[in-house]
Structure 1
Amino acid sequence: MSLSRLLRRFSEKNSTINGKAIHAQIILSGRRADVQTDNHLLAMYSKIGCIDYARKVFDQMPERNVVSWTSLISSYSQIGISEEALNCFRSMVLESRIDPNDYTYVAAISACAQMEALACGKEIHGRIYRTGEAVNNFVKNCLVNFYGKCGLLRSARVVFDTIHDPGTVSWVSLMSSYVRCGENEEGLRIFLRSLRMGVGVNEFSYGTVLGTCAALEFLDFGMQVQCLAVKLGVEMDQFVVTNLVHFYGRCGDLELAKRALREANRINVTAWTALIGGCVHLGENAEAISLFRELHCFGLKPNEQTFVSALGALGKEKDVEGGMQLHCSIVKAGFDSFTFVSNSVLDFYAKVDRLDDSFEVFRSMDAREIVSWNALIAGCVNLSRYEAAIMVIRSMFSDGFEPNVYTFSSLLNVCGELPAAAWGKQTHCRVVKPGLDSNIVVGSALVDMYAKCGRLKDARTVFDILPNKNIVSWNTMITAYAQYGSGKEALEIYGAMVTNGVRPNDVTFVGVLSALGHTGDLEGALAHFGSMAKDFGVKPRADHVACIVTLLSRKGRTREAYEFMTNSPVGMNNVVWRSLLSGCVANNDLELGLYAAQKILTIDPNDASARVMLSKVYADSNMWNEASQVRESILGKEAACSWT
């Protein structure tokens, strides 16, 4: 057997000892290895995961060719050491003056995609274009994936359109790019187009479509895709099973998610983690925590993603002690070295109002990425610590990190909450330069920022030029018009949304009902309230009931408002009772007003606004002693403050 075949055989069997023995034999023989033998040694060490040995072989090679460089660059890229992969690519091109081949380009572009190194990736693409080299579909697929990961969907689409006879990989790359940027509806349209073009379905396209249906909560469509995959005999590997569990969990059917897990050929920790994540998404946090504990009974060890999902459940439960214990387990297991796990720990502490601990975790991280900065910024914003958020953003820029779409989204959120229209416009300019204004996440954030700053015309302009809109974009525009009393315009947007085939959700109907409240259209509001569950499968929430109660009360029909509340299956909260109380104050309904105030104070005895309105009810009824007693009870309340 030749030396080359022997080295290939040992690399395929992942036999480190035998591979090293052959290498030792070559050294002891005193025979000078040729470039082909060195390349086989380099490839063997790369395949068995000994990247340090591979680098030593490379550094000692008296002669190197394009295969040598490509093997090393590919090895670094595949194990995630992307920066070193790009350093090798530069050395190959600039110092050794060796022209890359298609495999070299694939490895280098993949490294750029991992790092989201937009400038470097564009340089490589520019080199391909300038040299006029005819590259194969593998390189073009990598370029589609690269531009998708960097959020430049137009560029991804342009590259895709140059692919002659795109196959499954090409279509999946394009679909994944749109899904990754939040353009899930367009992702599904691309999938349907690929089916019409006769492209086959494999486990990757199947899993990606299931993930898209999960994000959109399209249960029926996802089940149709599942039937198609079963009919075509798509392999139910670990990737598919995990996505199937995730899909049913996100769509609110935990029983089917559990069934998918049970019927898998082999229960794996990733699918189990997906089930925990589904519980967290549906607010079943106690069950998620229980599943995390139960995992050990099946002989499974939690991985880094399992810990992240469990932390999410504990964060929503505000279980500080449990989260701190889990943090200790993460450190003990060594998972704190994973940057995205530390990001989740950071996020957990922010959610339980321990921002100082979030900063401590951030400072202790060995390596930070843009997601780490984004998590800290988002934590500051969610806790209304806007000055801290701005400080973090400045530190991020000074450390040389380039903002991505989620950084800009958080920054625009700060500008909207303050409000700071001038900063918002500057951020908008910064977004336009790299072409991120067409991204659906940034576009929605821009609409929201301009709306909160009272610039509805600017908000509408941004909304109208968005190339693709999702449910968040439509809801943001509807809510903005509703909040500023432009009920007619809000309803026009809602009509256009339905016409475009976008399915409204619970947030949509809060905006619609608020808009109808401003127009005083009671019949229209009741009709839309009824159509929520009937036509769109949206369960009414207390916020929806509050909108109807407010509208009835404005028309002086407080008794009907109360009857509507009592007949509703929705549990009433302070918001609904406060809407009724406000109506009773306006209509001098003492009896019902007292009852509503009593309900509010039963839920929250420290609710000062309820006491203020109760005092007004007494005063309007000439019950001055009672009004005085209520006013005295709120003298100790804290003074409010404003950012504006």
Structure 2
Amino acid sequence: MTVEDSVSYNVIIRGFGLNGFEEEALMVFNRMVGLGFSPCSFAVKSALQSSAELRYFREGMSIHGYVLRNGLVPETSVCNSLISMYAKWGRIDIAEKVFDNMGERDLVSWNAMISGFCQNGFGTEALGVFVSMKREKTWVFNEVTLLGLVQACGLSRNLDSGASLHAHLTGLGFLSNVWIKTSIMDMYAKCSRVDYATKVFEELHDKSLVSWNSLIAGYCQNGYEIEALELFHLMLQDTYLRPDCITMANVLPAYIGLGDLQLGQCIHGFIIKQGFDLNSDFVLATVIIDMYAKCLDIESGFELFMILDNPTLASWNAMIFGFVLNCQASDGLRLFNQMLQSGHMPDSVTVTAILQACSVLGSSRLGLSIHSFILRRNSMALSLCVSNALLDMYVKWGRLEIAKVLFNNMHEKNCVSYNTIIFGNAKVGLPIETFELFNEMRYENQHEQASIAIIGVLQACARSGDLRLGESIHTQVLKCGFQCDNFVTNSLMDMYAKCGSFNSAHHLFNQFGPVRETSSWNVMIAACGIHGYGKEACHLMENAENDGYVPDSITFVNLLSACSHSGLIKEGCKYFRIMIEKYGIHPSSEHLGCMVDMFSRAGKVEEAYEMMMEIGERLKLESAWGALLGGCRMNGKVEVGEIASEKLSRLAPQHCGYYALLSNTYAMAGRWDEVAKVRGVIGEMGLVKKPGFSTVKI
């Protein structure tokens, strides 16, 4: 049929959009505009909605430009579609600008903005929109508004507002809506008030399987594994209800979270007693295999797998992943070969598991072979999941150049792709490259994990000491609104400390106010240690304890290191005892290494040796003995150095650095014959010392 007028085009575009033919709707829209016809607001809405569904960022931006050029901005319905489109893409900032510039808003506009903020995790902002909405003289609301508000309270963990909204909804009689009541349960669970969620559940007159499943999931989300199981057992008492696959999927994480193998075996027995035939219900069989694997009983999982007459591909995949998870990557590869022989063609999940096995084994030859296997199957080579697994494998092997080629040739990229290559560059200290990749990631509308990506950029700046670029990244953090992310702020503090700007790190730390996580205290204590402020580190530790924070193993590593670099032997010994006696933390290699280094810097190698003989000898800690050998070189203690070297020759016979330390210890004492012998051993073993390097950014 030949289309010759704008009315026909508008009808066709709208028809395609309403029936889910997004590609066709956009194609006709572009043709219509290209021929000079003017689409109506309904056609523009359909084109925007199609761009949103297909996630065609550039196409949607182009249509937005057309709207601006042709004066369609005053159209409320068009603006509503723009808001929804940008919100779906994660560009809530642009959606908010469209909303703010609207001349007239209707209920759909307000609902779109509230829902948009909720979609992107901004519960507080969604509630703010509702407050503004209430200021309108003719404001109204509907059930969509209420659902959005309940979700916003859950996302913002705003229990007070959520409870008030619950009471208001009760008075208005909206609780007859099952979706609203289920959302209220979910809201309370997100606010860590499972007791309130339980009360709402108990008020339900007709408790469906969906409501039981929802509350069980809420318990698991909050770490109430035992309560989740009790609720599950209570559900079983209802003779009209029979657990389905969703029920089991919600319950099994509780067993995994408890890490109790016996409970896992009980659920296995329950499934059998319920009459589930695992030979026909492969979903349940696969879930049980996965449970055994995650409870580190791979043998039981394998026994179940072996009794299956005709395992599905999902069952093979679960078993292969289980072997990899249980540090039996070789067994996983053997099972993969058996799977191929059984006639199953691997899918992207299978290959992802195999690539993880190759990463664990560190076998370049095997990994390259699997890569070739993938390339021979064109459809698999185009899989985003497989491409990301390949990318991760090469990054973990340190083959960054190959990873870059693979990344550049990927047909499709997502946030996982960008984060993998960003952290690969960060690992070797390439801040410019990481920043460029981050900007590309944002341009390509990969905003889902942008806060994680920017942490990689900050790590690269910290490794390279590039303060100027780090400050630029800080500006980007503020523009993107990531300053509320505790992990991002901690990374900023770490970057400033390692780039020499202690005051900037301390300023960020103070911005946390009275609410700080243990990780933030850890970063600030480490910053004090880097800059030689040992007393300040001890003062921070006292403040943390006074505020009720419980230090962890990392806290004491940072604190002991700070004491070591500041010569605070008395304080270091005190906190070492506190760590063991008060907090029950067993000394690790890092803790002992710090103590040995602290004694060595003070010339007390004998005390360091006594500590190693008392604790380190029992734990066989390589790095701590290495620190002792370094202290012997520093103080010229040849006899103790020989003992430490003898320990290390058994613990790490291929570590060239320890032989070099022993050689330098002999050299400090003028024992050149021994120096020659050690260097001869290094040559005979074919060991090569990796050269060190340092950089200074001006």
Q: How far does residue 350 in structure 1 lie from its aligned partner after superposition? A: 1.2
Q: Which residues of structure 2 form unaligned runs of 5+?
A: 2-6, 134-140, 158-186, 202-210, 277-282, 297-320
Structure 1 counterpart of 2:128, which letter? V
**What's the counterpart of residue 597 of structure 1?**
645
**What's the counterpart of residue 450 of structure 1?**
496
CA contact (8 A) 1:487 1:515 kept: yes
**What's the counterpart of residue 100 of structure 2?**
126
Q: 1:627 to 1:460 in 2, by over 3 A?
A: same
Q: Distance in 1 between matches of 2:681 and 2:389?
A: 43
Q: 1:155 aligns with which of 107, 125, 128?
A: 125
**What's the counterpart of residue 143 of structure 1?**
116
Q: 1:401 to 1:40 in 2, by over 3 A?
A: closer
**What's the counterpart of residue 459 of structure 1?**
505
Helix, strand or coil for the counterpart of 2:507? helix
Q: Distance in 2 between matches of 1:83 and 1:235?
A: 48
**What's the counterpart of residue 317 of structure 2?**
none
**What's the counterpart of residue 315 of structure 1?**
359
**What's the counterpart of residue 191 of structure 1?**
191
**What's the counterpart of residue 352 of structure 1?**
397
Q: How far does residue 614 in structure 1 lie from its aligned partner after superposition? A: 2.5
Q: Which moved more, 1:59-68 or 1:367-376?
A: 59-68
Q: Distance in 2 between matches of 1:300 and 1:352?
A: 29
Q: How far does residue 349 in structure 1 lie from its aligned partner after superposition? A: 0.8
Q: Distance in 2 between matches of 1:318 and 1:488?
A: 43
What's the C-alpha RMSD, in Å, of the aligned pairs?
A: 5.4
Confirm whether residue 557 of structure 1 aligns to residue 607 of structure 2.
yes
Confirm whether residue 381 of structure 1 aligns to residue 426 of structure 2.
yes
CA contact (8 A) 2:126 2:149 kept: no
CA contact (8 A) 2:110 2:130 kept: no
**What's the counterpart of residue 640 of structure 1?**
692
Confirm whether residue 410 of structure 1 aligns to residue 456 of structure 2.
yes
Can you list the C-alpha shifts for 1:571-602, whole angstroms capped at 9, x where unaligned?
422x1111232445567655443121122233
Helix, strand or coil for the counterpart of 1:359? helix
Q: 1:72 to 1:618 in 2, by over 3 A?
A: closer
Can you list the C-alpha shifts for 1:302-356, whole angstroms capped at 9, x where unaligned?
7646654553453243233443444455553734434454233222211112222
**What's the counterpart of residue 363 of structure 1?**
408
Q: 2:577 aligns with which of 501, 526, 533?
A: 526
Q: 1:140 to 1:432 in 2, by over 3 A?
A: closer
Helix, strand or coil for the counterpart of 1:428? helix
Q: Distance in 2 between matches of 1:81 and 1:260?
A: 45
Q: How far does residue 379 in structure 1 lie from its aligned partner after superposition? A: 0.9
Q: Distance in 1 between matches of 2:214 and 2:41?
A: 31
Q: TM-score, normalised by structure 1?
A: 0.70
Q: Distance in 1 between matches of 2:38 and 2:444?
A: 39
Confirm whether residue 580 of structure 1 aligns to residue 597 of structure 2.
no
Can you list the C-alpha shifts for 1:447-472, whole angstroms capped at 9, x where unaligned?
01011112222111112214765454
Q: How far does residue 477 in structure 1 lie from its aligned partner after superposition? A: 1.9
Q: Which moved more, 1:556-565 or 1:578-587?
A: 578-587
Aligned residue runs from structure 1 range 204-353, under 5 A: 207=217, 210=220, 221-224=224-227, 227=230, 266-267=283-284, 284=325, 286-287=327-328, 290=331, 304=348, 307-308=351-352, 310-328=354-372, 330=374, 332=377, 334-339=379-384, 341-353=386-398
Aligned residue runs from structure 1 range 62-81, under 5 A: 77-78=52-53, 80=55
Helix, strand or coil for the counterpart of 1:433? helix
CA contact (8 A) 1:585 1:616 kept: yes
Structure 1 counterpart of 2:407, which letter? F
Q: Which moved more, 1:318-327 or 1:417-426?
A: 318-327
Q: Distance in 2 between matches of 1:273 and 1:162?
A: 48
Can you list the C-alpha shifts for 1:493-550, whole angstroms capped at 9, x where unaligned?
4455566666654433322343455532314312303455x4xxx6653223333444
Q: Which moved more, 1:546-555 or 1:248-257?
A: 248-257
Q: Distance in 1 between matches of 2:243 and 2:556?
A: 39
Helix, strand or coil for the counterpart of 2:610? helix
Structure 2 counterpart of 1:560, which letter? E
**What's the counterpart of residue 546 of structure 1?**
593
Structure 2 counterpart of 1:526, which letter? R
**What's the counterpart of residue 11 of structure 1?**
none
Q: How far does residue 118 in structure 1 lie from its aligned partner after superposition? A: 3.9
Q: TM-score, normalised by structure 2?
A: 0.65
Confirm whether residue 490 of structure 1 aligns to residue 534 of structure 2.
no
Q: 1:613 to 1:97 in 2, by over 3 A?
A: closer
Q: 1:37 to 1:633 in 2, by over 3 A?
A: closer
Q: 1:63 to 1:336 in 2, by over 3 A?
A: same
CA contact (8 A) 2:188 2:196 kept: no
Q: 1:617 to 1:417 in 2, by over 3 A?
A: closer
CA contact (8 A) 1:447 1:476 kept: yes
CA contact (8 A) 1:191 1:209 kept: no
Q: Distance in 1 between matches of 2:383 and 2:156?
A: 25
Can you list the C-alpha shifts for 1:8-53, whole angstroms capped at 9, x where unaligned?
xxxxxxxxxxxxxxxx9xxxxxxx99x999978864x32xxx5456
Q: How far does residue 445 in structure 1 lie from its aligned partner after superposition? A: 1.4
Q: 1:458 to 1:567 in 2, by over 3 A?
A: same
**What's the counterpart of residue 476 of structure 1?**
523
Q: Which residues of structure 1 form unaligned runs of 5+?
A: 1-23, 25-31, 179-186, 214-219
CA contact (8 A) 1:171 1:191 kept: no
Q: Distance in 2 between matches of 1:248 and 1:407?
A: 33
Q: How far does residue 561 in structure 1 lie from its aligned partner after superposition? A: 1.1
Confirm whether residue 116 of structure 1 aligns to residue 61 of structure 2.
no
Q: Distance in 2 between matches of 1:90 and 1:39?
A: 20
Q: Distance in 2 between matches of 1:57 and 1:564?
A: 79
CA contact (8 A) 2:522 2:558 kept: yes
Q: Distance in 2 between matches of 1:415 and 1:194?
A: 42
Helix, strand or coil for the counterpart of 2:106? coil
Q: Distance in 1 between matches of 2:542 and 2:621?
A: 29
Q: Distance in 1 between matches of 2:440 and 2:29?
A: 39
Q: Distance in 2 between matches of 1:401 and 1:284?
A: 29
Q: Distance in 2 between matches of 1:196 and 1:68?
A: 46
Structure 2 counterpart of 1:377, which letter? I
Q: Distance in 1 between matches of 2:629 and 2:407?
A: 46
Q: Distance in 2 between matches of 1:288 and 1:255?
A: 25
Helix, strand or coil for the counterpart of 2:471? helix
Helix, strand or coil for the counterpart of 1:432? helix
Q: Distance in 1 between matches of 2:249 and 2:130?
A: 28
Can you list the C-alpha shifts for 1:105-153, whole angstroms capped at 9, x where unaligned?
4x7555434432244322343256x5243458853552223443xxx67
Q: 1:549 to 1:235 in 2, by over 3 A?
A: farther
Q: 1:53 to 1:290 in 2, by over 3 A?
A: farther
Q: Distance in 1 between matches of 2:27 and 2:444?
A: 33
